[in-house]
């Protein structure tokens, strides 16, 4: 039997008897063992940068559920810290970032971003040593635009938060500044992803959490072009592992993204229709797109949707996943229900 992870086989274009399964945020607050572990860290950033703790958090859902892939426990906002911007998390409020460093200072730090976050690499190495060879290990980073939205407004955007109104306004009003920040993030993120590949990641994922609601011209400028530049730079640095792109909230642009960005897989969000998913699947392997709220509800409705996804996408290369991250109050039994339904348990 091949020890090549099923997720990697799908990203190479294979259609398998059943899709490989993993869930975004599969390590997290819905697991009692995670909550216990998290209570032992002084803060969230310290938790992410503690290789022993982060590796343990990564492995917890693998031991409990036997997913086909593990994703290293980290956060998309580690990159700003590597670029000299203070990052912290307010309880009940989410991330907060300090004053944006000067462009000159951030440029000085780009090439060292991987080394500055070497603890994530150690977490990956620890997990790879424990993980069975037939299970994939995924590294990841936030996409340039998504990370920039936090860096530009400090995480304090309260008006139009879901549309990243402050950062989008900057993109219109101060295009040169925003483009400079994006270019810096492309370079820093490329070095960060290379470090992760060198540490044992079998695949890398680019999380564009705030692609939602962008008009065509901004989608091209803020999402497509930075992704193209990032992937080209990652390849220039010698990285050969497959990449998955996740332009969340942009289902209408998913086929364009699949054609124009040199990823090996496209992750689809909750709003992506079965029909559009089939169209994207003709271009690239796909991942997604079960509604996390439905996973929380469970029951017959969950079974029906799993069956619909299998029927629609199971005859092509597809990775079973959620359309966004697993919610903190999801019952463990509902995760087990999905895995049994898909034939993964």
Return the higher-pLDDT residue of 39 and 162. 39
Q: Is 323 annotated as a binding residue?
A: no
- Portion of the chain with pLDDT greater than 90, in percent: 91
User: What is the per-residue pLDDT across 71-112, written as a single tens digit (0 to 9) for each?
Assistant: 999 999 999 999 999 999 987 778 999 999 999 999 999 999
Domains identified in the chain and CATH numbers: 6-342 (3.20.20.210)
User: What is the per-residue pLDDT across 285-326, written as a single tens digit (0 to 9) for each?
Assistant: 999 999 999 999 999 999 999 999 999 999 999 999 999 999
How far is 51 from 119, CA to CA, in rounded Å? 6
Indicate if the pLDDT at residue 160 is higher than 70.
Answer: no
- Portion of the chain with pLDDT greater than 70, in percent: 97
Q: Is 168 annotated as a binding residue?
A: no
Tell me what pLDDT residue 344 has.
Answer: 86
Tell me what pLDDT residue 161 has.
Answer: 58
Tell me what pLDDT residue 179 has.
Answer: 97
**Which residue numbers are catalytic?**
25, 29, 38, 75, 150
Q: Is 75 annotated as a binding residue?
A: yes
Indicate if the pLDDT at residue 69 is higher than 70.
Answer: yes
Mean pLDDT of 168-183: 95
Q: Is 304 annotated as a binding residue?
A: no
- Give the confidence band of 213 by pLDDT, cuts at 50, 70, 90: confident
Tell me what pLDDT residue 345 has.
Answer: 79
Return the higher-pLDDT residue of 160 and 140. 140
Residue 10 and residue 285 in contact, taking contact as beta carbons nearer than 8 Å: yes
Tell me what pLDDT residue 14 has.
Answer: 98
What is this structure's pTM? 0.96
Indicate if the pLDDT at residue 127 is higher than 70.
Answer: yes
Indicate if the pLDDT at residue 159 is higher than 60.
Answer: no
Mean pLDDT of 258-263: 98
User: If we measure between CA atoms, which residue out of 179, 176, 181, 151 comes closest to residue 166?
Assistant: 151
Mean pLDDT of 221-238: 98
């Amino acid at each position: 039997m091949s020890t090549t992870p099923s997720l990697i086989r799908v990203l190479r274009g294979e259609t398998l008897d059943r899709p490989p399964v993993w869930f975004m945020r599969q390590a997290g607050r819905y697991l009692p063992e995670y909550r216990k572990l998290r209570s032992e860290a002084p803060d969230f950033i310290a938790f992410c940068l503690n290789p022993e703790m982060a590796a343990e958090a990564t492995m917890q859902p693998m031991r409990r559920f036997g997913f086909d892939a593990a994703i290293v426990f980290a956060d998309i906002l580690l990159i700003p810290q590597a670029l000299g911007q203070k990052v912290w998390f307010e309880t009940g409020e989410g991330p907060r970032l300090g004053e944006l460093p000067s462009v000159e200072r951030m440029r000085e730090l780009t090439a060292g971003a991987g080394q500055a976050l070497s603890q994530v690499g150690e977490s990956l190495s620890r997990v790879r040593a424990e993980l069975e060879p037939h299970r994939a290990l995924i590294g990841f980073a936030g996409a340039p635009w998504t990370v920039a939205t936090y860096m530009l407004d400090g995480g304090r955007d309260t008006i139009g938060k879901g549309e990243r109104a402050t950062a989008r306004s900057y993109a219109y009003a101060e295009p040169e500044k925003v483009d400079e920040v994006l270019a810096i993030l492309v370079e820093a993120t490329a070095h960060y992803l290379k470090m992760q590949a060198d540490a044992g990641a079998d695949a890398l994922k680019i999380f564009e959490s705030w692609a939602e609601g962008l008009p065509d011209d901004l989608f091209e400028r803020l999402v497509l072009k930075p992704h193209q530049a990032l992937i080209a730079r990652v390849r220039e640095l010698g990285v050969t592992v497959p990449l998955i792109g996740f332009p969340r909230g942009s289902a209408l642009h998913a086929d364009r993204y699949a054609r124009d960005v040199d990823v090996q897989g496209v992750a689809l969000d909750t709003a992506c229709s079965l029909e559009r998913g089939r169209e994207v699947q003709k271009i690239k392997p796909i991942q997604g797109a079960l509604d996390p709220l439905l996973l929380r509800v469970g029951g017959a409705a969950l079974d029906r949707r799993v069956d619909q996804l299998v029927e629609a996408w199971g005859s092509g290369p597809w990775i079973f996943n959620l359309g966004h991250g697993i919610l903190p109050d999801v019952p463990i039994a509902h995760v087990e229900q999905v895995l049994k339904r898909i034939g993964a348990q």
